[in-house]
Amino acid sequence: MGTVVGVSSSSSHTFSKHARPQIQLLRGLGVDGDAHLGETVKHRSRVARDPHQPNLRQVHLIHSELHDELRPRGYDIAPGAMGENITTRGVDLLGLPAGTRLHIGPTAVVEITGLRNPCAQLEQLGNGLMAATLDRDPQGNLVRKAGVMGIVIESGAVRPGDEIRVELPEQPHRALEPV
């Protein structure tokens, strides 16, 4: 079990999102009132390439353990500052396979579609932050630590303090890739 630390949204395409007492997840759409709400992609660069592609980035989740890791390096990051809708604790988001379902609060369900690829906009929060959200594993492969993206499978309100239950997909598991 994990826990929701914070919830955030923004009605405009700002990088950081505003902390809220709760957000409403809408099945097949995303976060009510958020700029990325919709069945088709809303990320501006992706819309420019093909506005008809499915929105696999309806909900952005980041583990607060990343904030803990960044703090001693001089980055004091608040929930929502890196553009996430849901900030978690106690769930190894980056270690989950694609298709994992997160049951959040009493009714909401988010299915993990892939990794968020850190972008240069992170530099707005501090020089070097983008590089700080990237790493290498023992084999030298790039590790993206800026959270995961998902789609809403079941609607529901999500609030800080809500429990998160992880439901793994059937085997074989697929590793997360950037979406």
| Fold (CATH) for 2-167 | M1 Pyruvate Kinase; Domain 3 (2.40.33)
Whole-number Å distance between alpha carbons of 1 and 7: 18
pTM: 0.96
Domain boundaries, the chain: 2-167
pLDDT by residue, tens only, the chain of 179 residues: 999 999 999 999 988 999 999 999 999 999 999 999 999 998 778 888 888 999 999 999 999 999 999 999 999 999 999 999 999 999 999 999 999 999 999 999 999 999 998 888 899 999 999 999 999 999 999 999 999 999 999 999 999 999 999 999 999 999 999 99
